Amino acid sequence: MSLLKDTEEIIVRDLGAMKQELELTKLNLLWKAEPGVINSVGTLSYHICGNLRHFIGAALGKDGYLRDREAEFNRQDLSLAELLTTIDETIVAVQNAFPLLIEADLEREMPDTPPQHKGRTIGFFLVQLCCHLSRHRGQLDYLRRISAAKI
């Protein structure tokens, strides 16, 4: 395997697991944050998709996706079906972008990064994206469980 194939597999796998988490979330808790917690399950899901669509779909896959990062943290009007569709669209964007990359691309500078990652390689940034996805997916899982336990 290669870093490209491994990264794609991890991202697609974790997005699929995120869909399962959303399906287990009670609808009245989808957009509810717990005291002391900033984000809801819906917010975390929407942000993860926006992040991956921006950096993999748009920056690497050139799919034309335009990110609205502020909306990722402020929208609370999406239904469960719309969130699940957003995840499916993110999976498609990831699966369309990775075949465009070759191993040599891993050493190129990642385009359109936040300032703290300026000059980092695509390889580094793909690992960073996996870590970001994993961190937020874990938060989503615990938030869902804590919220459901209070009912």
Written in H, E and C, the secondary structure of the chain is: CCHHHHHHHHHHHHHHHHHHHHHHCCHHHCCCCCCCCCCCHHHHHHHHHHHHHHHHHHHHCCCCCCCCHHHHHHCCCCCHHHHHHHHHHHHHHHHHHHHHCCHHHHHCECCCCCHHHCCCEHHHHHHHHHHHHHHHHHHHHHHHHHHHHCC
pLDDT at 131: 97
Distances (CA, A) of 75 to 27, 32, 47, 139: 15, 12, 10, 18
Q: Can you give the pLDDT at residue 148?
A: 84
pLDDT in tens, the chain (151 residues): 699 999 999 999 999 999 999 999 999 999 998 898 999 999 999 999 999 999 999 999 999 999 999 999 999 999 999 999 999 999 999 999 999 999 999 999 999 999 999 999 999 999 999 999 999 999 999 999 988 887 6
Let me know if domain 3-149 sits in CATH 1.20.120.450. Answer: yes
Give me the pLDDT at residue 151, please.
Answer: 65
Output the pLDDT for position 27.
92
